[in-house]
Chain A
Amino acid sequence: MTKLKTQSLHKRDSELAKAQKQVDFLSNGIFEEGDLPRFAEKLQETQQFPLKPKPLEILQINVGYMCNQVCEHCHVDAGPDRKEIMTRETMKQCLEVIKTSGAHTLDLTGGAPEMNPDFRWFVEEASKAGIQDFIVRSNLTIIVANKKYHDLPEFFKKHNIHVVSSMPHWTKGKTDKQRGDGVFDASITALKMLNEVGYGMPGSDLKLDLVYNPSGAFLPTNQASMEKDFKKALLEDFGIHFHSLFAITNLPISRFLDFLIASDNYEDYMYSLVEAFNPAAVSNVMCTNTLSVSWDGWLYDCDFNQMLELKVASKVKHISEYNEDILNNRNIVISQHCYGCTAGAGSSCQGSVA
């Protein structure tokens, strides 16, 4: 049994639950006073402004913000109280795009995507489109949260789903601190269930990757060395296998922004991100090859812009009017949170980029 770590900003009626408040906060203070350069200025310095998309590779669809967990640093502000759920009608509009899009990867995320009542129908329909890489971002604990989810590993296997799961650390203490009491034990049980059907096993085509994001106000270290430590610890302690580890930087939005401000870490964290700015990471940031679709069908350059309600700067803004040629001509919408994706080795939903 897992316990909720905290409450969503929405549930708390926090001012930061409003996207505009976050955008304003990120535009003012140290960036307004000139202590730190705005992201656009940094791109101009390195002749990378405006940021333009490359041909679309990944279509990331957020099927809803409802989740069985309330993790401390969730950029979605997901939780059991969130009622924003993608309808079957919007899913049908997404399916039309999946069939015609040039994207080779479909990436379903949430919240806990499995909690959408039409999740299985959507996966079954989408898998008929013959996508090269079909990702579901599963928080692991959902698999053991209720009997109706226990067969998810078999369901994923049947549709050759690439499972990508969050795992903040290989120890119980650090994991539960970020994600709630009991999350570590439940995650280990779920990983064993996935291993049992073949996920993550050496040589297996059933891909199981883990996502690591730091538990506090610091940046992740080298992805390869973290993967080595994770693999050693999970195998020695629990006999668990997985394929790759994606190290992701926490972006200063939503609940992580709230944590940074409340713990008086905001300025130092932004300094760390700006100091670690890597021009080489810019050309591969995920907004250049990804489009993010929200639960209600709006289009965004990435999942983070979705949470900040910064829609694509294009005549086409909704999945119902999707046109890849028009969208490919847009400029990518940026703000200071983008420093999170260009720090050090860079960060994306697929891990490091540089």
Chain B
Amino acid sequence: MSYYDPKDLRKFANITEWSEELGTKFFDYYGKVFEEGALSAREKSLIALAVAHTEMCPYCIDAYTVDGLQRGITKEEMMEAVHVGAAIKSGASLVHGVMMMNKVKKLDG
């Protein structure tokens, strides 16, 4: 059995029940973030999808795949967004190779 149940996503709003003030503030903030602004809601949806993958959050992947489909975002666009996230994630690992190189050079010339 998995710790994750897809049905739990539907219960997300229920977190407000145990802390109404903080829950409400969070959802107000969340809603505001995704409104049309300097970035379009469509662009924000693709950013959210990429971050959902780097965070490896099943709920977020579920939510922002559906959101993308609803907005008419194509699967090609979604996959490119996921690659952007993956590239940053792998780049973030790889760039630490410089630390390794520095250390090797310091210790072993």
Chain A residues in the interface with B (C-beta under 8 A):
169-171, 173-174, 212, 214-216, 218-221, 225-226, 229-230, 271, 275
Contacts and interface: CB of A to CB of B under 8 A. Distances in A.
B72 A221 contact: yes
B42 interface: yes
Given A218-B66, A271-B10, A229 B72 contact: yes
Contacts of A219: 70
Interface in B55-109: 66-67, 69-72, 74
Given A174-B74, A219-B70, A221-B70, 13 more contacts: A169-B74, A170-B72, A171-B74, A215-B69, A216-B69, A221-B67, A225-B41, A226-B72, A229-B42, A229-B72, A230-B72, A271-B10, A275-B10
Contacts, number: 34
Contacts of B70: 214, 218-221
Interface string B29-71: 0000000100011100000000000000000000000110111
Contacts of B41: 225
Interface residues of B, number: 12
Nearest to A268: B6
Interface of B: 10, 36, 40-42, 66-67, 69-72, 74
A152 B36 CA distance: 40
A215 B42 CA distance: 18
A230 B72 CA distance: 9
B69 A225 contact: no
Given A225-B41, A229-B42, A214 B69 contact: yes
Nearest to B76: A173
Nearest to A230: B72
A171 B42 CA distance: 17
13 contacts: A170-B72, A171-B74, A174-B74, A212-B72, A214-B69, A218-B69, A218-B70, A219-B70, A220-B70, A225-B71, A229-B42, A230-B72, A275-B10
Given A225-B42, A229-B42, A271-B10, A173 B72 contact: no
A179 B70 CA distance: 18
A215 B75 CA distance: 12
A230 B42 CA distance: 13
A271 B41 CA distance: 24
A213 B17 CA distance: 36
Contacts of B74: 169, 171, 173-174
Nearest to A170: B72
A271 B71 CA distance: 19
Most buried by A among B40, B41, B67, B71: B71
A173 B72 CA distance: 12
Contacts of B66: 218
A170 B77 CA distance: 14
Contacts of A169: 72, 74
A218 B66 CA distance: 7
Nearest to B41: A225
